[in-house]
Chains A and B, each alone.
Chain A
Amino acid sequence: MDVKITINGKLYEKDIEPRLLLTHFIRDAAGLTGTHVGCETSICGACTVLAGGLAVKSCTMFAVQANGAEILTIEGMAREGEMHPLQESFWEEHGLQCGFCTPGMIMTCHQLLTRNPSPDETQIRGALDGNLCRCTGYQNIVKAVQSAAGKMKHRRGAAAGD
């Protein structure tokens, strides 16, 4: 079946099997391997991307369901070589170790901060229910999200002041 899926602004048109998972379309058909696969039961969240602006687990979606959709993956977060504040903050706060969960984490946190620009610690921890990390104990991930929220608020403020 022929599908057209836009990933990070670029259109990919492919003839695929209906059973092809969105995550494999992104990784194999589009060659964007920043989106990872860590389980098959929709628990670990390493495969999280934004589809139509919504954080979804791309391993729990067939690519055909995303026909015509706009997808944002970790590769689309930095703009003109400049990291997204979440990427910066994960780096600065040591919010990652092995890095395997990180792309999914960042995409989920992106959704969180879009919906709630000033989350408190409990809200951040709750928002991460769909993303497992085995390295960091989540401590510095929470700090990274707090720091990114501050940065994004500051930037919005600066932009509004212009």
Chain B
Amino acid sequence: MIAQQFDYTVAASVAEAVALLQKHGDRARILAGGHSLIPMMKLRLAMPEMLIDIGRITELSYIKEESSYVQIGALTTHHAIESSVIVQRRCPALSEAAGLIGDIQVRNKGTIGGSIAHADPAADYPASILAFDAVVITIGPKGERQIPASQFFLDLMTTALEPNEIVRAINVPTRTGRSASAYVKMAQKASGFAICGASAVVELDASGALAHAAIGVTGVGNRAFRATETEKALHGRKPTAELLRAACEKAAGGVSALDDIHASAEYRLDLVRIFARRALEKAIERAGN
């Protein structure tokens, strides 16, 4: 199908993109990789009057390693994240999430900034963004903001981004010591999006107990969420099979689950329990090695 007509302009820099957004207001949308927006435009589910293409701002495509975090530029593609040695080593869950998005072609073109700004409830990244307590760095006319992941995803296709703001980068705090992460998912058979995706970030103390355990879940509710009950049940305890099983019983918390032709709410809620545990098991095994 064919998109409605629109005006198109290329932003050469972040500052220009922000200025253009401010100038054109509601009628404009930011185009990055286009893999969230263009399919919707072709089905005329999105009909922006103007696109501001930030795809050529190469300085937004990078992966930078710092001692306590990894910073990923908004225009870094899923493929770059999937294949980055830094990401694989420091935050494997994010690398796994990137590698499970769509397909090779989509990963070559789609960007992390575009994906999280779009906030599809079944997107893969949000589970890991939440589990890592990542920080979304946005830029707008008033300058930069650092939005904690927990405050970024607000609802179905809705984020804390102001209308004239764009995502500039994501800071992913990483842990030292015996820590690791993992992402596992059940994909919707047709689209490849997550019916349930779970990301676990763990750290073991010297005794082998869980000094830290964070679990993010995507695909299940209107937005990704943390399995806080499970995290509490795990904190400071040795991750035996029984403990993981019991703790994950509460992983879905009180979330109201999506219900569609691909999976009922009841099924999605049960998958949370299963995939939260599987993500934890994988992360713990990695941390132990």
The reply to whether the CB of A82 lies closer than 8 angstroms to some CB of chain B is: no
Q: Does B102 contact A (CB under 8 A)?
A: yes
Query: Interface range on chain B: under 10, 10 to 19, 20 to 34, or 35 or more?
Result: 20 to 34
- Report whether B105 and A130 are in contact in the complex, using a CB–CB cutoff of 8 Å: yes
Question: Given A56-B108, A130-B102, is A62 in contact with B39 using a C-beta cutoff of 8 Å?
Answer: no
Q: How many residues of A contact B (CB 8 A)?
A: 28
Summed over the interface, the residue pairs from A and B with CB atoms below 8 Å come to a total of: 83
Q: Does A112 contact B (CB under 8 A)?
A: yes
Report if B23 contacts A (CB, 8 A).
Answer: no
Cα–Cα, bound, A108→B5 (Å):
30
Contact of A129 with B by CB under 8 A: yes
Judged by a CB distance under 8 angstroms, whether B178 is at the interface is no
Within 8 A of A (CB), among B16-70: 31, 34-35, 38-39, 41-43, 51, 53, 55
**Is A55 within 8 A of B104, CB to CB?**
yes
- The verdict on A19 contacting B106 (CB below 8 Å), with A42-B39, A43-B190 known, is no
- Is residue A41 contacting chain B, with contact meaning CB distance below 8 A? yes
Binding site for B on A (CB under 8 A): 1, 17-19, 21, 40-43, 45, 48, 54-57, 59-62, 64-65, 108, 111-112, 127, 129-131
Residues of B that sit less than 8 Å from A by CB? 1-8, 31, 34-35, 38-39, 41-43, 51, 53, 55, 79, 102-106, 108-109, 190-192
What are 12 A-B residue pairs whose CB atoms fall within 8 Å in the complex? A19-B41, A40-B1, A42-B102, A42-B105, A54-B79, A57-B106, A59-B42, A62-B8, A64-B8, A129-B102, A130-B102, A130-B106
